[in-house]
Amino acid sequence: MFSEKMQQAFNAQINAEFYSEYLYLAMKAFFDEKHLAGFANWFNVQVQEEHAHGMGMYNYVHERGGKVELAAIEKPVLEGDCPVSLFEQVLKHEQLVTSKINALVDVAEAEHDRAALSFLDWYIKEQVEEEANVRQLLATLRLIGEDKKALLMLDRELAARTFVAPVIG
């Protein structure tokens, strides 16, 4: 049985996933304005991933016979005005998402909802990957420093990233 507490926790996480989509869309716009198409592409892929994550949870709630209740999505605020500061914000945000997924797992454990625990295992693994990818990009950006040629080379590399729809659950 899908408890009311579990349903509320999933609805809160659905909102968090769609906020992530919105935040990354704002970051894509930042890089579009700077004419860094590769960075904009990287964030466009993130937008699609976060949408898929939110929809995965949306579909799961329905599969369990629950009710999805969508809440307002908070306006994203960008912290900083350069690639390093934005990726520092991305890392902080991904760490926050990890803590929210962990809290959702805590609710599933408290509710003895083994189906939810099994479903959320994919999200736990995904967050490990998300944080590692951002840490790697941030380390590269810090190494680049003020070298504009290196920044443009990284921009070209990021332009090659493509979205692959995840198989969630």
The 10s digit of each residue's pLDDT in 2-28 is: 999 999 999 999 999 999 999 999 999
The 10s digit of each residue's pLDDT in 18-75 is: 999 999 999 999 999 999 999 999 999 999 999 999 999 999 999 999 999 999 999 9
Record the tokens describing residue 31, joined without a space.
């890089």
Q: Which of 89, 22, 87, 88 is nearest to 53 (CA)?
A: 22
**How many alpha carbons lie under 13 Å from residue 149 in its C-beta half-sphere?**
0
Q: Which of 14, 142, 120, 144 is nearest to 68 (CA)?
A: 14
Is pLDDT at 169 greater than 90 in this prediction?
no
Percentage of the chain with pLDDT > 70?
A: 100
Residues 101 and 152 sit within 8 Å (Cβ to Cβ): no
Q: 4-158 maps to which CATH number?
A: 1.20.1260.10
Alpha-carbon separation of residue 63 from 57, 92, 97, 115, 150 (angstroms): 10, 32, 23, 11, 47
3-state per-residue secondary structure call for 19-34: HHHHHHHHHHHHHHHC
Q: SS3 for 64?
A: coil
